[in-house]
Homo-oligomer: A and B are copies of this chain.
Amino acid sequence: MKLKTLAIVGVGLIGGSIGLAVKQRRLAERVLGVGRHEASLRRAQAAGAIDEISIDLVEAVRGAEMAVFCTPVDRIAEQVLQVGLECAPGTLLTDAGSAKAVVVRAIDGRLPKGVSFVGSHPLAGSEKRGPEHATANLFENKVTIVTPTSQTDAEALERTTSFWRALGARVRLMDPEEHDRALALTSHLPHLAAAALAGILKPELFDLTAAGFRDTTRVAAGDPSIWTGIFLQNKEAVLAALDHFDERLQRFREALKAGDRVALDSLLDQAKKVREDLENRD
């Protein structure tokens, strides 16, 4: 694929990495970075992630064949709807948001004929922020989930999956709600648990932490406003995942209270197997 103009709306770690990857792989003649703050767009430009900058969302996306929204997940639907009405037929809009159902369902059926939105979620990123931390290979061999609905245009879907594959990603198609239930368990709940573990640690105990604590709580350094948005956009699935987690913690508690060595061993053993299977899969 070769685009004339790609617009990246929100050029932080993810948006910046898309820009770097697109430019390195020569997938677009022109990469336009769009945001509200000129200073941060200049940083993205200095990092080589975008060619040009714009602080006019509608104007910028109107001049592009494709736009990727890498803004906080609770702003995506609103921005897509605002921009979509002004786009030329054939424009493809996608995103990189961590929750999908609320976004996708808010947009479905509301865009003009010929303008398409296809939800995407690249499973990449880290607790770091900003275009300074962007890398051209961020998506390589990582899964990007694409979430079509019954209303998704087949060609738009094909263009979206081709785009992510061109960045090196392995694409998986999922229903938006199925995505949200899965990510609640694989990403949102672990983030919440990490934040709860870090949050209850008093400063006088900092010196008594080792690698285990640091690994387990690393993601809690992520941007709170981003994560608040993710949790709220995926509220029901996160609450269900939290219930599931609570039940498992309760099994640990009961086994520990009872001094039940066999039950504890079995709970830990099962967790170890999951963790090992995960590593072996890589």
Contact = CB atoms under 8 A, between A and B. Distances in A.
Contacts of A239: 253, 256-257
B185 A267 contact: no
A272 to B, nearest CB: 6
Given A201-B186, A207-B172, A210-B142, A228 B264 contact: yes
Residues of A in contact with B, size category? 35 or more
Contact of A224 (B142, B223, B272): B272
Contacts of A145: 208
B215 A215 contact: yes
Contact of A185 (B127, B142, B201): B201
A189 B209 CA distance: 12
Interface string A187-221: 10111111111111101011111111111111111
Chain A binding surface, main DSSP class: helix
A231 interface: yes
Nearest to A229: B261
Count of chain copies: 2
A186 B213 contact: yes
Contacts of A193: 193, 197, 216, 249
A275 B224 contact: no
A277 interface: yes
A276 interface: yes
A205 B228 contact: no
A217 B279 CA distance: 11
A278 to B, nearest CB: 6
Contacts of A269: 224
Contacts of A225: 265
A187 B215 contact: no
Interface string A162-195: 0000000000100000000011011101111111
A267 to B, nearest CB: 6
Interface stretch (A17-25, A38-46, A240-248): A240-248
Contacts of A264: 224, 227-228, 231-232
Given A172-B207, A221-B279, A232-B256, 14 more contacts: A125-B210, A126-B211, A143-B210, A187-B210, A194-B216, A196-B245, A197-B245, A200-B244, A203-B274, A206-B278, A214-B278, A217-B278, A220-B275, A225-B265
16 contacts: A123-B209, A123-B210, A186-B213, A191-B212, A191-B216, A194-B212, A195-B268, A198-B271, A203-B277, A220-B268, A220-B274, A221-B275, A225-B265, A227-B264, A227-B268, A231-B264
**Top 8 A-B pairs, shortest CB-CB distance:** A224-B268, A195-B271, A199-B271, A198-B271, A190-B216, A123-B210, A221-B275, A196-B248
